[in-house]
Amino acid sequence: MACGTTTNKRGLIRIVRTADGIVADPTGKLDGRGAYVCAQSACWDGALGKGRLEHSLKVKLTAKDADALRAYATTHSGGDR
């Protein structure tokens, strides 16, 4: 979504809009509108910082959701953090 990389779904991390908020879905099986982000930290920064994730999910991220996704990205990024 952020960098335009194309790969199989297993190489990307799915972010899902659920009734309980926005969550990372490592299984790729949660119900809800989703968007895919590669594991590179720059892609997470672009997705969260430039509103691309909000646009894709058609929702305004709450501070709590954004913080949770940043924490997830820090522990699951592709090693360039």
Position 3 in a domain: no
Position 53 in a domain: yes
Adjacent-strand bridge partners of 37:
13
The residue-averaged pLDDT of 66-73 equals 91
Question: 12 pLDDT band (50/70/90 cuts)?
Answer: confident
pTM above 0.85, yes or no: no
**CATH number where 41 lies:** 3.30.1230.10
Position 4 in a domain: no
The residue-averaged pLDDT of 65-70 equals 92
Position 42 in a domain: yes
Nearest CA to 27 among 43, 9, 39, 44? Answer: 9
Position 51 in a domain: yes
- Tally of domains in the chain: 1
Position 2 in a domain: no
Structural domain containing residue 59: 9-76
Give the whole-angstrom CA distance, residue 22 versus residue 33.
10
Could you give the strand order of the β-sheet that contains 12-18, starting from the edge strand earlier in sequence?
21-25, 12-18, 33-38
Position 38 in a domain: yes
For 22-66, write each residue's pLDDT tens digit: 999 988 899 999 999 888 888 888 888 888 999 999 999 999 999
Q: So what's the pLDDT on residue 80?
A: 47
Question: 67 pLDDT band (50/70/90 cuts)?
Answer: very high
Q: Is 80 left (phi over 0), alpha (psi -120 to 50) or beta?
A: alpha
